[in-house]
């Protein structure tokens, strides 16, 4: 398959999926624009703000589209080949991922814009709420671990060949680090200007969006300024997350999300140009060598030739691609901020269903950046660098080879931009969850909760070898998609209790739960074997212990859901 054919197939599948299955799912929920949404009923100009769907789509999309749909498809292509990745991304994003996001948003809107945990409390039990809150917090820890390691890898990865071609002293990782730091400072300045000087949005856009590209150029001129080792960057990145999670939203998060949205759209546009007009050949194999359908059986059978987890097609293809097809993190965004801005119920379809399909397209673009490189070229190269180099190749089609340094820095910084958005949001959500779970209020309590949320990942990263994201990514994907399954379960209980058809949420819930539970069990076994084998590598042991805890919380949540369905008669309610 050529990249042109891949682009045409992808756009066709996503468009048809939105117009047909998206319309079908919307009809099941009987969206009614005569219903007053929480954004309208509780409009306060701060948290509840009715927002036009075009602008809300951009905000929601930039919040959910982080490193997941970039790193996951690249790693999965290297492990399994490009064909299984394409099939799962396109089928998964239409029939599971978009359904999950849309259902979570509608459920939140109809429950007063509350989170999925609060929906579980209302429809299942308080015990289920506590279990889900604890599960979400652990899942967020692995989001922070995996994404921090990916970010640091882009900051420490140099390209000596590029430096020789440039003919100047140049360090690509240092350029990305410098550009990323300046980008965060620029977003802070924008937040201050918007808050105190009240510039109109068009003027802020005209000044700060070009300035974002300007800091990329400046990064190429300051590439040797921030050359630090991985462990130093762990401290700096997680220290930033700790501080950013305590900042008021106007100071950094809102402005950074706005600027990051433009970077995201620009990266998609560049990727589309590369797919349609690049004329690149596919170098990666359709099916990776050694991949088979019997890997899971041989793994559990044990023996001297136990296959690596990365070669077991089921379930690790699905959890490796992670957010590119389905993400439980999206449900947190839907119930956290987006549901508070839905002006009419019909807007849920373009905002949630549409944004998830766009994320699937981001995943296909990321997949294309590794497809045009051979296995030898990508060996040992961080996925962020692979994506950045691919976007750079596409960008030079428009700017020419003279802009290679800028293109390479922009491509790699695009990854860091997406990751920073996720990292501090995940830290802030972790703070909220701990404060809610332990009923701790005030700034001191918030600081302690934030410190716990970044302290655990910091300890894990400092005791692991740099580049361990591959090991942590597997558990991140497993926990993230199991969270999606639990979210779908909560929504299914809500629909079932109110006498509504629920197969369209129940079927994907069962499928995703089977995948993720199997993946977690494999990691428990792998951790146990590593512990008794005395290899000295504690990463699989840590993953195994956390997997046991996640499985226990999930089993408890499922048991509470089953009990709720059996004990409560079906009834109609205003929430339905």
- For residues 383-400, give the mean pLDDT: 89
Q: What is the pLDDT of residue 101?
A: 97
pLDDT digits (tens, 9 = 90+) for 246-280: 888 778 877 887 888 788 889 899 999 999 998 88
> Using CB atoms within 10 A of its CB, is residue 256 exposed (0-12), middle (13-18) or buried (19+)?
buried
Q: What is the pLDDT of residue 325?
A: 95
Name residue, tokens 């716990």: 452
> Does residue 576 surpass a pLDDT of 70?
no
Count of positions (residues) in the chain: 576
- For residues 540-569, give the mean pLDDT: 91
> Using CB atoms within 10 A of its CB, is residue 34 exposed (0-12), middle (13-18) or buried (19+)?
exposed
Q: What is the pLDDT of residue 572?
A: 44
Q: What is the pLDDT of residue 355?
A: 94
> Does residue 185 surpass a pLDDT of 60?
yes
3-state SS string for 329-351 = HHHHHHHHCHHHCECCHHHHHHH
> Does residue 167 surpass a pLDDT of 70?
no
Q: What is the pLDDT of residue 524?
A: 95
Q: What is the pLDDT of residue 49?
A: 83
Q: State which CATH number among 1.10.287, 1.10.760, 1.20.140, 1.20.1730 fits the domain covering 3-567.
A: 1.20.1730
Q: What is the pLDDT of residue 51?
A: 85
Q: What is the pLDDT of residue 552?
A: 97
Q: What is the pLDDT of residue 568?
A: 66
> Using CB atoms within 10 A of its CB, is residue 93 exposed (0-12), middle (13-18) or buried (19+)?
buried
At 429, the pLDDT band (50, 70, 90 cuts) reads: confident
Q: What is the pLDDT of residue 575?
A: 44
pTM for this prediction: 0.90
pLDDT digits (tens, 9 = 90+) for 326-380: 999 999 889 878 899 999 999 999 999 999 999 999 999 999 999 999 988 888 8
Greatest CA separation for the chain:
74
Domain ranges of the chain: 3-567
> Does residue 573 surpass a pLDDT of 50?
no
CA distance 390 to 392: 5
């Amino acid at each position: 398959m050529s990249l042109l054919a891949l682009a045409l197939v992808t756009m066709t599948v996503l468009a048809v999926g939105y117009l047909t299955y998206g319309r079908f799912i919307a009809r099941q929920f009987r969206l009614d624009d005569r219903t007053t949404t929480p954004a309208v009923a509780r409009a306060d100009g701060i948290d509840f703000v009715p927002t036009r769907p075009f602008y809300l789509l951009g905000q929601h999309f930039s919040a959910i589209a982080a490193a997941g749909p970039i790193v996951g498809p690249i790693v999965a292509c290297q492990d399994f080949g490009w064909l299984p990745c394409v099939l799962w991304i396109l089928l998964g994003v239409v029939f599971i991922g978009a359904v999950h996001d849309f259902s979570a948003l509608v459920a939140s809107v109809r429950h007063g814009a509350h989170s999925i945990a609060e929906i579980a409390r209302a429809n299942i039990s308080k015990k289920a709420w506590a279990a889900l809150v604890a599960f979400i917090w652990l899942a967020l820890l692995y989001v922070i671990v995996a994404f921090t390691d990916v970010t640091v890898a882009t900051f420490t990865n140099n390209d000596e060949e590029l430096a020789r071609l440039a003919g100047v002293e140049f360090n690509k990782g240092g350029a990305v680090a410098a550009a990323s730091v300046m980008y965060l400072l620029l977003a802070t300045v924008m937040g201050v200007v918007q808050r105190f000087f009240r510039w109109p949005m068009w003027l802020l856009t005209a000044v700060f969006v070009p300035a974002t590209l300007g800091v990329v150029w400046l990064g190429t001129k300051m590439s040797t300024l921030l050359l630090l080792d991985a462990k130093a960057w762990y401290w700096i990145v997680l220290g930033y997350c700790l501080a950013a999670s305590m900042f008021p939203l106007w100071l950094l998060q809102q402005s950074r999300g706005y600027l990051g949205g433009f970077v995201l759209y620009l990266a998609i546009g560049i990727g589309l140009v590369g797919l349609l007009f690049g004329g690149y050949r596919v170098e990666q194999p359709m099916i990776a060598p050694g991949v088979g359908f019997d890997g899971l059986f041989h793994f559990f059978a044990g023996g001297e030739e136990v296959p690596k987890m990365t070669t077991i097609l089921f379930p690790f293809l699905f959890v490796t691609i992670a957010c590119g097809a389905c993400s439980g993190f999206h449900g947190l965004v839907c119930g956290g901020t987006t549901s508070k801005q839905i002006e009419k119920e019909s807007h849920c379809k373009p905002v949630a269903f549409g944004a998830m399909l766009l994320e699937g397209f981001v995943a296909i673009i990321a997949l294309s950046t590794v497809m045009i490189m051979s296995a030898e070229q990508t060996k040992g190269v961080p996925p962020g660098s692979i994506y950045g180099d691919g976007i750079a190749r596409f960008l030079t089609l428009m700017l020419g080879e003279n802009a290679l340094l800028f293109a390479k820095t922009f491509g790699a910084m695009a990854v860091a931009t997406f990751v920073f958005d996720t990292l501090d949001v995940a830290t802030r959500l972790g703070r909220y969850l701990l404060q809610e779970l332990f009923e701790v209020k005030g700034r001191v309590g918030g600081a302690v909760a934030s410190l716990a949320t970044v302290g655990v990942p910091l300890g894990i990263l400092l005791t692991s070898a740099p580049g361990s994201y591959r090991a942590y990514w597997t558990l991140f994907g497993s926990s993230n998609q199991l969270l999606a399954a639990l979210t779908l379960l909560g929504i299914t209980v809500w629909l079932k209790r109110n006498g509504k058809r629920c197969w369209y949420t129940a079927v994907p819930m069962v499928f995703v739960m089977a995948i993720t539970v199997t993946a977690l069990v494999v990691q428990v076994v792998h951790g146990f074997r590593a512990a008794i084998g005395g290899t000295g590598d504690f990463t699989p042991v840590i993953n195994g212990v956390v997997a046991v805890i996640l499985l226990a919380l999930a089993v408890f949540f499922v048991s509470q859901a089953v009990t709720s369905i059996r004990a409560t008669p079906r009834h109609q309610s205003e929430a339905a």
